[in-house]
Amino acid sequence: MTSKSDQKLMHEVETPVNARARRHAVGSPEGETVELRQSAAREVTADRVDLTQSAALRVRGSLVDTRQSAVGLVQSNEVFVRQGAAAVVRAETADLDGYAGIVAGNTVNIRNGAAAVVAGREVRGQRIRALLVIGNRIEGDVRVVFDQRQALVVALVGGLFAGLILSMTRMLRRD
């Protein structure tokens, strides 16, 4: 028996569903459309991927839509992460309302989100918190720990420091 919200979600899908899982751990579902509800998968490959309260290690598709889900690596043309988390997102268009490690895309939209690194040709946001944001055009309320110049200085100083430590370690080993 499906609830009204599940029925509504099923009607939103225009293409036939080739793989659907609810409250299961599945290996690597593939198909034109893959829907996971309260499930976990190692790798998901489909034109359209819908995840709700689910987890997946790797997701590939033309359109990836996640709600209250966690994903490792996402590669897609369009990605929507709603109230969820993603380790790495690589997409033409990324729309994030949640948390991410690295987000890279042509157009990146973040609302009420946090990320370690955000890179995009256009970055738009409302209340973005990030360590580093790189973009040709950045709009909105963006709070970064490092801007591009500061990140370069931190990287150079870190590299210099690491080089000195390695040199000292080598000298101590010779003696």
Where do the structural domains in the chain lie, given as residue ranges?
4-147
pLDDT over 80 (residue 31): no
What would the mean pLDDT of 20-28 be, rounded to a whole number? 58
The confidence band for 173, taking pLDDT boundaries of 50, 70 and 90, is: confident
* pLDDT for 10: 40
pLDDT over 60 (residue 77): yes
The structure's pTM equals 0.70
What tens digit of pLDDT does each residue of 96-105 get? 999 999 999 9
E-state strands within the chain: 19-22, 25-26, 30-37, 40-52, 55-67, 70-146
* pLDDT for 141: 86
| Alpha helices per DSSP H over the chain | 4-12, 148-174
Q: How far apart are CA 33 and CA 76, in angstroms?
A: 14
What tens digit of pLDDT does each residue of 133-149 get? 888 998 988 887 766 67
pLDDT over 60 (residue 156): yes
* pLDDT for 175: 60
What would the mean pLDDT of 59-64 be, rounded to a whole number? 94
Q: How far apart are CA 59 and CA 72, in angstroms?
A: 8
* pLDDT for 122: 94
How high is the mean pLDDT of the chain? Answer: 82
The most confident of the ranges 26-35, 115-124, 157-166 is 115-124
Q: Which residue has the higher pLDDT, 115 or 20?
A: 115
